[in-house]
Structure 1
Amino acid sequence: MTGISRAARHRALSAALPLLAVLGLVLAGCDAPWAAKSMEWKRIVPTADCDCADGSEFAFWERRADPTRVVFFLNGGGVCWDANSCAFTSTAGEQEGESEFYDWNLKGTNPENRSGMFDVTRSDNPFADHSFLYVSSCTGDAHLGNVSQKYSDTLTVEHNGYANGTAAVDHLARNYPDATEVVVIGKTAGSIAAPLYGGLVADRLPDARVTVLGGQSGAWPDNPDFNTDVLDAAWGAYDTMPDWAVRGLTAREWGVPRFWTQAGRHDPDLVLSRFDYAHDPNAAVEITEWEHGDSPSLDPVPGFDELAVIDANERAIEAGGVNLRSYTAPGSGHGIFEHKTFYEIEVDGTRLVDWLDALVTDDPPEDVHCTECGS
C-alpha cells in the first residue's frame, strides 16, 4: 500500500466493514462477546522504566473488548512545577497521594465501572464496544515530562509522564496491531497532550483511523513564560518530544495550542477535535499565573474570559493550516466523560454523543458552538 494515504486505506477498509460485521455476528452467535457488558478492568504494570512523582509504581488499566476499536484515555490528575505545588503533602482533606494541585501517586486511583462514557451498557454510547486503555497521570506534568527534578533538599519529583504514557502506547501497538479505529481522548489537564499522543499512535498504527478529542483545555494559553519555565525547564518536555512535535519552534514558542498545529502538520490524516464549556471556571485554573486579563471566574485573575481564549486558540490553530473540529457548550460546567451529562449535552439540536459518533465513524461533522453561551 505504498503511496496510499491512511485516509484512503481507511475508506477501503470501511467499504468492507459491513461484510466483516455480518461475518463477525455469525461467528459470535449474532452478538459480539463484549456487547452490553459493564467495564471489567485489568491493571497493567509496564516493564519499562516507569514510576509516579514520588517514585512509586506506575500502572494503567485495560478493558479488552473489540480489538479493532480502541479508546486511549489520558486522565487528568493536575499539574505542578515548584516546591510548593509539587510537595507530597495532602491538603484540604485529600487522601494520601493527592493535593489540591496534583496526584503524585496512584493510591486510591481506580477507574472502576463509571457512568458517562464508561457506561458501556448504553445503546447510545458511541464507545460501548471499544477496548479501553485508561492512563492516569501521577507525575504532575500532564503526561509530558521526562526529568527527575530536585525542587529542594527534601523534594525530588519524578516528572516521568512521557515515559509512562508512551509505555501505554507501546502496549496499544503490541496488543492491538489490527486496530482500524483509535480514539485518543484527553480529560482536563490530560487533554493538553492529546494531539501529541494522537501523532504517536498514528506513527505506530499507520493503518488505523486516529481521532483525537481534547476535553476542556481549550482555554490553556500560549504563554512564552509558561512554555519555557514549565514545559521546558520544570518538566523537560521540549527536549523529550519527537522531532515533528517541536520542528521549527524554540522552547519559548512551543505552547499548548501549537501541539495541535504540530500534530496536524505531521499527519494530515489525524482527525483533531476538542470539547469545552464556554465558561468552565476550572478548565485552566492550574495556570492562572500565566493568564491575561481580569475575570470573575479564575481567581487570582478575576475577569479572565475563557470563551475568548478558546475561540482565539482555535483560530490560531486553524490559521496554521490544521482543521480543528470543535463542540462548545454553554455555561460553566466542568466534568463530562464520567457523568450522565455526557448523554445530556445538546447544543442547537445536536447531542454531543451523536456528534462524537459521527466524528469517529464518518466524515467529521461541522463545528457546534453555542450562540447563547452564558457567563
Structure 2
Amino acid sequence: MTPGRRAAVATPRSLSSMMKTPLLLLAATALVLAGCGAPGHHAADPLKWERVVPAGDCNCADGSKFNFWEHRADPAKVVFFLNGGGVCWDAASCAFTSDGSPGESELYDWNLQNTNPDNRGGMFDVTRADNPFAGYSFLYVSSCTGDAHLGNASQAYSPELTVEHRGYANGTAALDHLAKHYPNAKEIVVVGKTAGSIAAPIYGGLVADRLPDAKVTVFGGQSGAWPDNPDFNTDVLDKAWGAYDTMPGWAVQGLTARQWGVPRFWNRAGRHNADLVLSRFDFAYDPHAAVEISGWEPGDSPSVDTVPGFDELAVIDANEKAVEATGTDLHSYTAPGEGHGLFEFETFYKLKVQGVRLTDWLDTLLHDKPPADVHCDPCDP
C-alpha cells in the first residue's frame, strides 16, 4: 500500500499557520493580547498566556522541548484546546524541512520554535459577550509530533531521520497539569481543531478519569470525514505512531489494531463514560479536512483538492451513523460548503445553519440539555 500525501503546493495551511508569530514573542513568559473592540464586546480582559514547560520526557518530533500555554481565569470552567499541527508517517512526510516558518513543513509542525497562541479572534476573543467560552480558563496544547496527539514511539524512518511521535506523552502531561491546578473544576470542555479533534474524544475520557466530578464536554471540529480504514489503522495508528499500545484499556478493549479506527474513538469514549457530552462540527465539503489521509479515502488520487469519487459529506454522515448505532449520542453541527477556518475567525460568530447560530448551539450544549443536531440542506458549496 502507498499512503497518500498532501501535494506540496502553495495553499493555506489547514492546521496551525494562523498561530505563527515572530520568534521574539516566545522569549516572554506571559503574552498579553489586545481585544478587537468590535460591537458585542464588553469589559472583560483579553487573554493573557503563560508558557508551561512540563517535566519528564516530553518532546517534539525533532527531540526539542515541548510546551503548552495557559490562560488562568475561572478555575471552575476550563477549555482544554487540542490544536492541529498536521500528521506524518514516513521519511518523506516527516522530514524536518521548512518551506515557510521554522519548524513547520507543508505537512506538519515538527517543533514549536515559532508557534504561539497569539489569538485575538473567534473563540479566543473572550472580551465578546456572545462568546460561549468567555470567562473560562484555557490550556492550549499544540501538536509538534505529527501524530494527532496520539503517538508514543521513537520512529527511525531512515538512517538520517528519527521522529519522536510523543503526542500522547505531551498531551497527558498537559492533562496532569489540568488535574493538579484545577482540581475543583466543574466544567471542562475538550475542544479539538482539525487533526487535534481526532483525539478529542479520547482526551475527553481521560479528563473524566482524572476529574470525575466535572461535567466534561467534547467538541471536535473538522475530522468527521476521517475514515475507519483497516490499513490506516494498522500502518499509521499502530505501527508508525505506536498509539494502539499506548491507549488506556477502555479505548481499545475487544478491538485489534486493524479494527481500532478514528470514528470508533467516539463510541469508545461514550461507552467508557456515559456522562460525557460528545459533539462534532464539520463543513460538508472542506477540501482540507481529510487531505492528509486521502490515500485511504474511497476515491482516486491524493491531492489538496477534493479526491475524485470521494463524497466527503457521505463519509461524515456515515461515520456519525456508525457511532450512534453503538448507542453513543454524538451531537453534531454540519455546515454547508467548502469552509475551513472556524475557531480563530469571525466565522465562529457569524455561522448560522437552518436558522441556528453556532454560538447559540454551543451555549445550549454547554449549559442546558444537548440541542438537536443541525445539518445543512442543501449542503453544496
Q: Indicate whether the TM-score tops 0.5.
A: yes
Q: Report the Cα distance in structure 2 between the residues aligned to 1:37 and 1:266, rounded to whole angstroms.
A: 38
State the superposition RMSD in angstroms. 1.4
Q: Report the Cα distance in structure 1 between the residues aligned to 2:206 and 2:217, rounded to whole angstroms.
A: 12
Alignment of 1:195-234 (within 5 A): 195-234=201-240
Of the three residues 159, 162, 165, the one matched with 2:165 is 159
Q: Amino acid of the residue matched to residue 39 of structure 1?
A: L
Q: Which residue of 1 aligns with 2:69?
A: 61
Q: Which residue of 1 aligns with 2:145?
A: 139
Q: Which residue of 2 aligns with 1:41?
A: 49
Judge conservation of contact 1:40–1:113 (CA < 8 Å) in 2.
Answer: no
Judge conservation of contact 1:35–1:129 (CA < 8 Å) in 2.
Answer: no
Q: Report the Cα distance in structure 2 between the residues aligned to 1:89 and 1:294, rounded to whole angstroms.
A: 28
Q: Which residue of 1 aligns with 2:33?
A: none
Shift of 1:90: 1.3
SS at match of 1:157: strand
Shift of 1:294: 4.8
Work out whether 1:50 is the aligned partner of 2:71: no
Answer 1 or 2: higher relative contact order, Cα 8 Å, separation at least 6. 2
Q: Which residue of 2 aligns with 1:30?
A: none
Judge conservation of contact 1:298–1:304 (CA < 8 Å) in 2.
Answer: no
Unaligned runs of 5+ in 1: 1-33
Q: Which residue of 1 aligns with 2:277?
A: 271
SS at match of 2:110: coil
Q: Report the Cα distance in structure 2 between the residues aligned to 1:330 and 1:297, rounded to whole angstroms.
A: 21
Judge conservation of contact 2:334–2:376 (CA < 8 Å) in 1.
Answer: yes
Q: Which residue of 1 aligns with 2:130?
A: 124
Judge conservation of contact 2:287–2:305 (CA < 8 Å) in 1.
Answer: no
Unaligned runs of 5+ in 2: 1-41
Of the three residues 305, 327, 336, the one matched with 2:333 is 327
Judge conservation of contact 2:295–2:302 (CA < 8 Å) in 1.
Answer: no
Of the three residues 307, 327, 343, the one matched with 1:337 is 343
Q: Which residue of 1 aligns with 2:78?
A: 70
TM-score scaled by length of structure 1: 0.89
Structure 1 segments, 4+ long, off by >6 Å, are: none
Shift of 1:189: 0.5
SS at match of 2:332: strand
Shift of 1:52: 0.2
Shift of 1:105: 0.1
Alignment of 1:168-207 (within 5 A): 168-207=174-213
SS at match of 1:163: helix
Alignment of 1:250-289 (within 5 A): 250-289=256-295
Q: Between the two proteins, what is the percent identity of the paired residues?
A: 75
Q: Report the Cα distance in structure 2 between the residues aligned to 1:132 and 1:302, rounded to whole angstroms.
A: 40
Judge conservation of contact 1:216–1:275 (CA < 8 Å) in 2.
Answer: yes
Q: Report the Cα distance in structure 1 between the residues aligned to 2:43 and 2:209, rounded to whole angstroms.
A: 30
Pick the structure with greater CA Rg. 1
Q: Which has the higher helix share?
A: 1
| Matched length | 340
Q: Amino acid of the residue matched to residue 58 of structure 2?
A: C
| Structure 1 residues 296 and 145, CA gap change in structure 2 (3 angstroms) | closer
Shift of 1:335: 1.0
Q: Which residue of 1 aligns with 2:113?
A: 107
